[in-house]
Amino acid sequence: MFSTHLARISLWSVLLLGGCSAINNFDYKFNLAEKDAGEDGGGDDLDGGGEDDAGMDGGGGEDGGPPTNDSGEDSGECNTKELVCSDGLDDDCDGHIDCDDEDCASAASCCVPREADRELTCTGEADDDCDGFADCADPDCRQTTTCCPTPSVETGTACTDKADNDCDGIVDCTEPNCAQIYQCTCVPDGEESFSKPATCLDDEDNECDGLTDCEEIECELSSKCCTATAQNESGASCANGINDDCDSQGPDCADPDCSSALACQCPSAVVETCALDGDCLVCGDDIDNDCSGYADCREAACQGSIQCCRERLGNNLATGETANSTCQDGINNDCDTSGADCKDPDCSADFCCNPQAENTAAACSDNADNDCDTKTNCADADCVEFCGCVPTTELCDNDKDDDCDALVDCKDPQCTSSKACPFTQAESVCNDNVDNDGDRLIDCKDSDCDGSRYCVIFCTRCIESADTASFSTR
């Protein structure tokens, strides 16, 4: 382009200085220059440029411009890689064309076979025979131990497993061994399902799976394969998964009989249930979430929730579970998620939440139930070594303290209902000549009668009689 402009400037110089003969001579030379420039890709074309302009104008070829073919012709814009490895173009403008470009190293058209007709090795990812397949993808390797370590005969169930079991490149029904088996000769014509009643009544294996009609699990609910247990579906039978009336409508909510059933009016129910001492919102939202007819704490499965615990205790809800009475009563008194009694950290200091062994002399004489088994001192079997008494069941007629509670026979509350103790626990009448409490002491001789009016008078007479050696009634 620059040379063209220079030529035109020179033309005006000739006009001014040399006249017409000079102009004629210049025209000839200008035309030659313009022709040369055009052949070089230049001339007045602002998009091109000859060899002198190529770098300035962004020309192609080896200088980084658009891709060129083997003849140096412009073929379009540059790509990020060599797209076609056999078109004679430098697609990515890196100065390397087709197989000379490393992008084409794995292209089949650039492959140089190491062996004319077979894959030499079946590992290494090399296409040795340049057939477009490498290693185990190459038929040459299909039955090698590398690519098929455990081949098996393709027959029976192997004919329908969609696997090339013998590694011969032929799968299932296209395998000669499989051509005549039932699954390969059967032509499926649809699914068998109770939703399509005809398919469960035609004695045909519609799915070619070897099962017909009632043998097909999808047909179990069809009228042909079903045994009716009810004239229609209603109530509980609308949620049991059974086509109880064996009609073509299907089971449960699919049957119009169940349209008004609670289970069908609430198909996406959230089950109202809660673990013991669990915090479950569904048990305190005033909604019958599972359409059972019961909401929140009226739902049995919600009873253990802390929401229902608070509702149950009401004004008796405690601020903490700390006292002995609340740490041993089996109740979650503060309705928190920790639970009742010793499960609650509030009870960590409670005596019975940290029981001690009752097997020392001190523990067996402190009148405390150290191991919280409701027995103290010698009444606790753990204290036998220190009490010399082995507690057993109290016998009520052997004059022994069998249970080591310092109470013998009928004096022991355990004997209250015993036939051996038909007496009261005290001498109730002091002048009936009867041992009312069974302690072998009668009337005034029993200390239970001390202070009774009869015995005071009687004993006074006894004393006076003893003094006078006679007895008389006043």
- Here the tokens at position 456 are 């005071």
- Reported as a single tens digit per residue, the pLDDT across 286-316 is 888 777 778 889 888 898 999 999 998 888 8
DSSP H helices in 18-73: 20-39, 54-57
Instruction: For 406-452, write each residue's pLDDT tens digit.
Output: 788 888 888 877 777 766 567 778 888 877 777 778 888 888 888 78
Predicted confidence band at 48 (pLDDT cuts at 50, 70, 90)? very low
451 Cβ contact list (under 8 Å, min separation 6): none
pLDDT at 460: 52
The candidate with the shortest Cα–Cα distance to 425, out of 404, 448, 445, 443, is: 448
Query: Phi/psi at 79 (nearest 5 deg)?
Result: -110, 170
At 12-37, the pLDDT tens digits run 443 444 444 444 444 444 443 444 44
Among the residue ranges 56-60, 173-177, 292-296, the one predicted with the least confidence is 56-60
Out of 239-243, 260-264, 314-318, 320-324, the most confident range is 314-318
In this prediction, residue 309 carries a pLDDT of 92
* Mean pLDDT, residues 257-281 taken together: 80
Which range is least confidently modeled, 45-59, 211-225, 243-257? 45-59
Residue 89 pairs in a beta bridge with 69
CB-based burial, 376-398: b 16+ in 10 Å, e otherwise: bbbbbbbbeebbebebeebbbee
User: What letter represents residue 78's amino acid?
Assistant: C
Question: What confidence score (pLDDT) does residue 269 get?
Answer: 64
pTM for this predicted structure? 0.29
